[in-house]
């Protein structure tokens, strides 16, 4: 039974000139088309599969609302720029996400937590034209993880300043080359844990494989500053809003692995799972303020981002 909605984004990136744009898309061409989720869609020579050469975003969709859509579109563009890909056409991707969500809900009903995944690749080798897809499906059930997760720290192997010294390592880009993130997850499972916090080779706390770290210590809520090859978190920004509304100071700065261990409370936050409180980091146990975390997740799930849609055409 195929329930998911798949769209092929036929015009995923902005043309170099207005003329080219005119040639690329006829009037009435939205730049995306419905496709068959159950059928193969990717050519075997697409660089997305042969080289993991592309970028992605995963967006939570709550009651039909794609959360932090503009932040995700901005991050897609940022990742694409780090990979020297052409600029994604934000208007096309935005409308594709909304159309995908509408199609999914028209077929499957309005309830539940969904997600939209956006994939932009460098395209078929030799053709010089990026490929794009959006798919919308039901999210995994993260209700248990929102009550608590066990986490281990793993060395990411890079110094904290690697994004500045070696930009070709693509630290901070949400690329399709995520095999090491998956391997870190398997290593965590071998150690009896649910997730990972990466630490730089010189001892700074960084991020999870697919999440940001929130640290509460001395009454201040902090997250590692993003100039360390860390993905700027769309959910982390909302978490800071939540705590600021409750009077907590918030701060971006370098956080040593030792500080992490000495924290009062820790969360991993991400778009679809939202906030998962950490009950154990390596061999240290943490008490969880269940009421605070429940409030946080209620806040995150209720977000409607009073965003304006900026149309560039």
Identity of the residue, 119 or 268, whose beta carbon is nearer to its own copies in the bound complex: 119
CB of 121 to its own copies, least distance (A): 8
Identity of the residue, 195 or 293, whose beta carbon is nearer to its own copies in the bound complex: 195
DSSP three-state, residue 244: helix
CB of 179 to its own copies, least distance (A): 4
Cα(270)–Cα(26) distance, rounded to whole angstroms?
38
CB of 164 to its own copies, least distance (A): 11
Which backbone phi and psi does 35 adopt, to 5 degrees?
-135, 170
Identity of the residue, 71 or 173, whose beta carbon is nearer to its own copies in the bound complex: 173
Helix (H) or strand (E) holding 74: helix 69-82
Q: Is 271 annotated as a binding residue?
A: yes
CB of 71 to its own copies, least distance (A): 21
Identity of the residue, 43 or 150, whose beta carbon is nearer to its own copies in the bound complex: 43
CA angle 81-82-83, nearest 5°? Answer: 90
Cα(228)–Cα(160) distance, rounded to whole angstroms?
5
Which backbone phi and psi does 26 adopt, to 5 degrees?
-80, 160
> What is the bridge-based pairing of β-strands 220-224 and 250-253?
parallel
Q: Is 14 annotated as a binding residue?
A: no
Cβ contact 248:221 at 8 Å: yes
CB of 177 to its own copies, least distance (A): 3
Cβ contact 101:69 at 8 Å: no
Identity of the residue, 41 or 279, whose beta carbon is nearer to its own copies in the bound complex: 41
List of residues contacting its own copies (CB under 8 A): 6, 37, 39-54, 56, 83-84, 117, 119, 121-122, 133, 135, 154-159, 162, 165-170, 173, 175-184, 186-187, 201
Q: Is 174 annotated as a binding residue?
A: yes
Which segments are annotated as binding site? 75, 174, 234-235, 271
Which segments are annotated as binding site for pyridoxal 5'-phosphate? 75, 174, 234-235, 271
């Amino acid at each position: 039974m195929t329930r998911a909605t798949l769209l092929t984004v036929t015009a995923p990136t902005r043309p170099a000139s207005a003329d080219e744009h005119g040639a690329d898309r006829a009037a009435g061409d939205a730049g995306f088309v419905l496709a068959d989720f159950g059928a193969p869609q990717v050519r075997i020579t697409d660089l997305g599969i042969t080289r993991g050469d592309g970028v992605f975003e995963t967006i939570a969709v709550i009651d039909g609302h794609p959360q932090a859509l503009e932040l995700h579109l901005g991050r897609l563009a940022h990742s694409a720029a780090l990979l020297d890909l052409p600029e994604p056409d934000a208007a096309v991707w935005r409308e594709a996400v909304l159309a995908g969500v509408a199609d999914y809900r028209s077929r499957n009903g309005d309830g539940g937590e969904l997600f939209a995944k956006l994939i932009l690749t460098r395209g078929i080798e030799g053709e010089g034209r990026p490929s794009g897809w959006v798919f919308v499906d039901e999210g995994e059930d993260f209700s248990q993880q929102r009550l608590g997760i066990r986490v281990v720290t793993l060395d990411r192997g890079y110094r904290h300043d690697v994004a500045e010294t070696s930009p070709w390592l693509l630290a901070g880009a949400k690329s399709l080359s995520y095999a090491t993130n998956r391997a870190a997850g398997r290593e965590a499972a071998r150690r009896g844990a649910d997730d990972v916090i990466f630490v730089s080779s010189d001892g700074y706390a960084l991020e999870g494989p697919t999440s940001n770290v929130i640290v509460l210590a001395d009454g201040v809520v902090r997250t590692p500053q993003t100039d360390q090859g860390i993905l700027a978190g769309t959910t982390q920004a909302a978490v800071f809003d939540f705590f600021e509304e409750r009077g907590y100071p918030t701060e971006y700065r370098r956080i040593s692995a030792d500080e992490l261990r000495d924290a009062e409370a820790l969360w991993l936050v991400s778009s679809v799972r939202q906030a998962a409180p950490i009950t154990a980091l390596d061999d240290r146990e943490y008490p969880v303020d269940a009421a605070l975390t429940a409030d946080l997740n209620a806040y995150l799930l209720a977000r409607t981002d009073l965003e304006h849609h900026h149309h560039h055409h």
